Chain A
Amino acid sequence: MTEEIDKALARQYEAGFVSDVESETFPPGLDEDVIARISARKEEPEWMLEWRLKAYRTWKEMSEPEWAHVDFPKINYQDISYYSAPKSMADKPKSLDEVDPELLRTYEKLGIPLVEQQMLAGVAVDAVFDSVSVVTTFREKLEEAGVIFCPISEAVHKYPDLVKKYLGSVVPQKDNYFAALNCAVFTDGSFVYIPKGVRCPMELSTYFRINEQNTGQFERTLIVADEGSYVSYLEGCTAPQRDENQLHAAVVELVAMDDAEIKYSTVQNWYPGDEEGRGGIYNFVTKRGICHTNAKISWTQVETGSSVTWKYPSCVLKGDNSIGEFYSVALTRAKQQADTGTKMIHLGKNTRSTIISKGISAGRSNNSYRGLVRMNPGADGARNFTQCDSLLIGDQCGAHTFPYVESKNPSAIVEHEATTSKVSDDQLFLCQQRGLDPEKAVSMIVNGFCKEVFKELPMEFAVEAGKLLEISLEGSVG
């Protein structure tokens, strides 16, 4: 059995390859000059540069957070290159035909044939290759509905009022070390605006791709759902194998106005590093949404990649009767480390939140849930339910739970439950007795363990997520 585990865990990263698109990359280093150059490269207005510089000055005063249950060599922020754009982008392609064919082939290797996806899945893809958005599809169809879905660099020019109003409104510049860094150097990302009462006609999706050696990827996503609107947003990512650690510090901000609903789903499969954890992605992400009256934000994530994950998608339930949800599956193997969870801040009356977190640890990995549920004095009748379950596979890994519960309202109800167990011998025995081989049995049990989360994912993602887990766990318990 141990052999099988070892064999399965030694599996190489399948999406690992480097496509050689020539790119224009800044030399490593960060100072105000570099930020000015990024801003100039993006032809940004003066106010945007000022905003970046302010963030940079804040960041310089801050220190890296050390409270997470992760351990990695110190990052030298001067060794990172903060801008990289595919060279052939200089003369901005207008259609697919104009796009570098090498780029398109990269997407195909990853199983994201753009054309096919447009036709079959009805998904508009804003594909991000390193830091510059290459192709945005279905723009017209969305425009018809009045939905704005474009690279944030474009939104800065076309919708400056919206960007000025909402950028940094949910995650302030000084929120945390990595968010401040992102504010200073973010290169691109997606901007979504759903007008009042509009139900977005399709699921919006961005595939991220990190492709240059030594470049940090600093994505910035801003989604604003105006009163009574609905949008479902999909984020997925995978990256080629490489030798040096890559820093990824993204910021995602969601604004759900009165009666609006945002569903944000993530499948994260970045390069987790080799067996010793070398070379994997550092994924330090700040994700937060604010819910106004009767609004709802639902985060669903399936995390299987990255060597170090530091990620807490959160909801500020500001309006009365608003709802926050967090569904998560985090799988770590080899020497991966994940410290992930959520924050639910209840401010309004009758606000509700649900947290379902499933952690699976294998190999020599460490998997932590860290969450906060806060009931403020005004949160009359608020309700929270939290369930964190951990599954350990093998005796060299770790599973940890750090939930913070803070209540200042006597009528608010908070419930937290956590359990830790291994795949039970009884379950395995039962399955095997019914003629299933151990591998299938484990896969089935783990899938059952995660079912509550998978059913929250949009169809396309649920399939991908199930497959990801299956591959990751192939034969890892017997």
Chain B
Amino acid sequence: MSNWLTQALAQYQSSDSTDWLSAAREKSLQQLHNTAWPTRKTENWRYTPLACLERTSVAEPTNDAFTAESIEGLECIEIVFVNGKLVSELTDNIPGVSISLLSESKESAQNLFQKVKPEHHVFGLVNDVLASAGVVIDVDESVVVDTPIRLVHWQNGGESHVRHLVRVGKGASLAVIEEYRGDNPLVATQYAEYQLEDDAKLNHYRFALHTNQAMVVGGSHFNLSDRSELHSTLIGFGSLLSRVDIDINHCGEHAMATQNSVYLLEGKEIFDLHSNVEHTKPNGTTEENIRGIVGDEAKAVFNGRIHIHRHAQKTLAELNNRNLLLTNKAEVNTKPELEIYADDVRCAHGATVAELDTKALYYLRSRGVSEQEARIMLNFGFINELIEQLPLEPLVEWLQGELKRRFNDLRNQIPGVEAV
């Protein structure tokens, strides 16, 4: 066990606070004691070292003053967490939706905690034990929520452990934005569990936009019941340690999931994305598109697994990971996996690490676009392709702004583009 973990757990054990989660926390604590701390030899952590957790000194947060930047033109319900504490008032005026604190014992929360997130995530267990903030969102049957719920997290030091639980009732529909930001060295575990009932629909966004000093591990996990529909989008900027696990479980038939991810890495950042899709029932559909641009000395890690169980016939699953590597010191490690136990399925995956499409470049040049400009356009287009198709227009514009800001740091590194 690592020093960091020992200290973190000691804090928990010394505090005598008990809540409705205590029994569940105790169980995860036991499991954690029986789990080996990940090393380079642990398959799931093969490329992502955890030594920074021991080496980096993390100061307590100095500043609690934070105002969430609003997304222009997007009306949403904002729930803001600063340094792991809820600072906004929870609204109760959306008909058919209840939003409550994790610490309040609620029956529906009890049915969700640890029920969706797989037990094998070591940091997930840490979060089980230490989660001190978070909300429980419950959408009643057939309620269509027009306003997206935006969960904003900001941290400027110290440690925080947040956990959100969301249930979308039968035939209901919801959009959730998880936004994580941070400054200064900090440690955070950030997990969210989503239960989609029959015919439910969820638009999900996860933005991991920390600065390069953050050490964050987290994940979004989904259970899909019959005919439910999930559209998930992940944006990742790397940091000292940034790891996201996305788990999609097709627990019902005819469920459909799309998952798009974009990462843009610079400096010495690491971004590690593990996605795992379990098709346990027949007739499910999954489509995943993951794209990344990696510059400077940054490192991208992607592991995408699709597991088709014995009776999950007629499954359609596709996964595609494409990467652009900008410099000699940057690094991409990708591993798209298929594990298939049913014969009447169609599955495909692909991964590329490559330079730009020379035909597209030629096309643009033939239209009078300068080579530099063409290269910049194609590089941005490479990631923008996944963003511009999102349903919420104001959100798309806001995201494009965020991505452009970061992209501009990287554009001078694009092969064939001279520094300006």
Interface residues of B in 309-339 (CB under 8 A from A): 310, 313, 323, 325-339
Check B354 against A416 for contact (C-beta < 8 Å).
no
Residue of A nearest to B352 (CB): A415
Secondary structure at the A interface, as helix, strand, loop or mixed, is strand
**Count: A-B pairs, CB below 8 Å:** 115
Which residues on A sit within 8 Å (CB–CB) of B327?
410
Check A401 against B349 for contact (C-beta < 8 Å).
yes
How many interface residues does B have (CB within 8 Å)?
Answer: 36
Check A402 against B340 for contact (C-beta < 8 Å).
no
Check A407 against B350 for contact (C-beta < 8 Å).
no
Which residues on A sit within 8 Å (CB–CB) of B337?
400-403
B353 close to chain A: CB less than 8 A: yes
CA separation between A419 and B310, bound complex, in Å?
Answer: 18
B355 close to chain A: CB less than 8 A: yes
CA separation between A200 and B342, bound complex, in Å?
Answer: 47
CA separation between A50 and B332, bound complex, in Å?
Answer: 42
B363 close to chain A: CB less than 8 A: no
CA separation between A401 and B335, bound complex, in Å?
Answer: 10
B347 close to chain A: CB less than 8 A: yes
B112 close to chain A: CB less than 8 A: no
Which residues on A sit within 8 Å (CB–CB) of B336?
401, 403, 416, 418
Residue of A nearest to B323 (CB): A407
A405 close to chain B: CB less than 8 A: yes
Which residues on B sit within 8 Å (CB–CB) of A409?
325, 328
Check A67 against B343 for contact (C-beta < 8 Å).
no
**How far is the CB of B334 from the nearest CB of chain A, in Å?**
5
- Known contacts: A407-B331, A413-B352. The answer to whether A390 contacts B326 by CB under 8 A is no
- Known contacts: A395-B313, A400-B338. The answer to whether A410 contacts B328 by CB under 8 A is yes
Check B353 against A375 for contact (C-beta < 8 Å).
yes
One of A395, A406, A419 near B331 (C-beta < 8 A): A406
- Known contacts: A392-B343, A418-B338, A420-B338. The answer to whether A407 contacts B348 by CB under 8 A is no
One digit per residue, 1 when the CB lies within 8 angstroms of any chain A CB and 0 when it does not, for chain B 351-377 equals 111110000000000000000000000
CA separation between A413 and B353, bound complex, in Å?
Answer: 6
One of A69, A412, A422 near B344 (C-beta < 8 A): A422
A397 close to chain B: CB less than 8 A: yes
- Known contacts: A401-B338, A403-B335. The answer to whether A414 contacts B313 by CB under 8 A is no
Which residues on A sit within 8 Å (CB–CB) of B352?
413-416
CA separation between A198 and B346, bound complex, in Å?
Answer: 48
A473 close to chain B: CB less than 8 A: no
Check B355 against A413 for contact (C-beta < 8 Å).
yes
CA separation between A409 and B354, bound complex, in Å?
Answer: 9
Task: Identify the interface centre among A410, A413, A421: most chain B CB within 10 Å of its CB.
Answer: A410
**How far is the CB of A101 from the nearest CB of chain B, in Å?**
49
Check B340 against A398 for contact (C-beta < 8 Å).
yes
One of B313, B326, B353 near A412 (C-beta < 8 A): B353
Check B415 against A411 for contact (C-beta < 8 Å).
yes
A417 close to chain B: CB less than 8 A: yes
Which residues on B sit within 8 Å (CB–CB) of A156?
none
**How far is the CB of A64 from the nearest CB of chain B, in Å?**
14
B345 close to chain A: CB less than 8 A: yes
**How far is the CB of A398 from the nearest CB of chain B, in Å?**
5
A394 close to chain B: CB less than 8 A: yes
A17 close to chain B: CB less than 8 A: no
Interface residue range, chain A: 35 or more
Check A400 against B340 for contact (C-beta < 8 Å).
yes
Check B348 against A405 for contact (C-beta < 8 Å).
no
A399 close to chain B: CB less than 8 A: yes
Check A416 against B351 for contact (C-beta < 8 Å).
yes
Residue of B nearest to A390 (CB): B340
A404 close to chain B: CB less than 8 A: yes
A451 close to chain B: CB less than 8 A: no
Residue of A nearest to B348 (CB): A419
One of B313, B332, B343, B415 near A405 (C-beta < 8 A): B332
CA separation between A351 and B395, bound complex, in Å?
Answer: 44
A408 close to chain B: CB less than 8 A: yes
Which residues on B sit within 8 Å (CB–CB) of A377?
328-329
CA separation between A375 and B331, bound complex, in Å?
Answer: 10
One of A398, A404, A418, A421 near B333 (C-beta < 8 A): A404
Check A414 against B353 for contact (C-beta < 8 Å).
yes
Check B349 against A410 for contact (C-beta < 8 Å).
no
Check B343 against A422 for contact (C-beta < 8 Å).
yes
Check B347 against A414 for contact (C-beta < 8 Å).
no
- Known contacts: A405-B334, A418-B338. The answer to whether A395 contacts B344 by CB under 8 A is yes
One digit per residue, 1 when the CB lies within 8 angstroms of any chain B CB and 0 when it does not, for chain A 52-70 equals 0000000000000001010
One of B330, B331, B341, B354 near A413 (C-beta < 8 A): B354
Which residues on B sit within 8 Å (CB–CB) of A148?
none
CA separation between A394 and B339, bound complex, in Å?
Answer: 16
B72 close to chain A: CB less than 8 A: no
- Known contacts: A392-B340, A405-B333. The answer to whether A418 contacts B353 by CB under 8 A is no
Which residues on B sit within 8 Å (CB–CB) of A422?
343-344
Residue of B nearest to A412 (CB): B353
CA separation between A407 and B330, bound complex, in Å?
Answer: 8
Residue of A nearest to B341 (CB): A398
One of B43, B350, B354 near A417 (C-beta < 8 A): B350
- Known contacts: A410-B327, A419-B347, A420-B338. The answer to whether A395 contacts B355 by CB under 8 A is no
**How far is the CB of B53 from the nearest CB of chain A, in Å?**
24
Which residues on B sit within 8 Å (CB–CB) of A404?
333, 335
- Known contacts: A408-B330, A409-B328, A410-B415. The answer to whether A395 contacts B310 by CB under 8 A is yes
Interface residues of A in 159-208 (CB under 8 A from B): none
Which residues on A sit within 8 Å (CB–CB) of B348?
417-420
One digit per residue, 1 when the CB lies within 8 angstroms of any chain B CB and 0 when it does not, for chain A 371-394 equals 000010100000000000010111
**How far is the CB of B216 from the nearest CB of chain A, in Å?**
24
**How far is the CB of B291 from the nearest CB of chain A, in Å?**
15
CA separation between A419 and B340, bound complex, in Å?
Answer: 11
Residue of B nearest to A408 (CB): B331
One of A392, A393, A410 near B330 (C-beta < 8 A): A410
Check B415 against A421 for contact (C-beta < 8 Å).
no
Which residues on A sit within 8 Å (CB–CB) of B331?
406-408
Q: Could you name 9 residue pairs across A and B whose Cβ atoms are closer than 8 Å?
A: A67-B43, A406-B331, A407-B332, A408-B328, A416-B350, A417-B349, A418-B338, A419-B348, A420-B345
Known: A395-B344, A403-B336. 11 other contacts (CB 8 A): A395-B342, A396-B310, A401-B339, A407-B325, A407-B333, A408-B332, A409-B325, A413-B355, A416-B349, A417-B349, A419-B348
Top 9 closest pairs, chain A to chain B, by CB: A392-B343, A407-B353, A401-B338, A413-B354, A420-B347, A410-B325, A416-B351, A414-B353, A422-B343
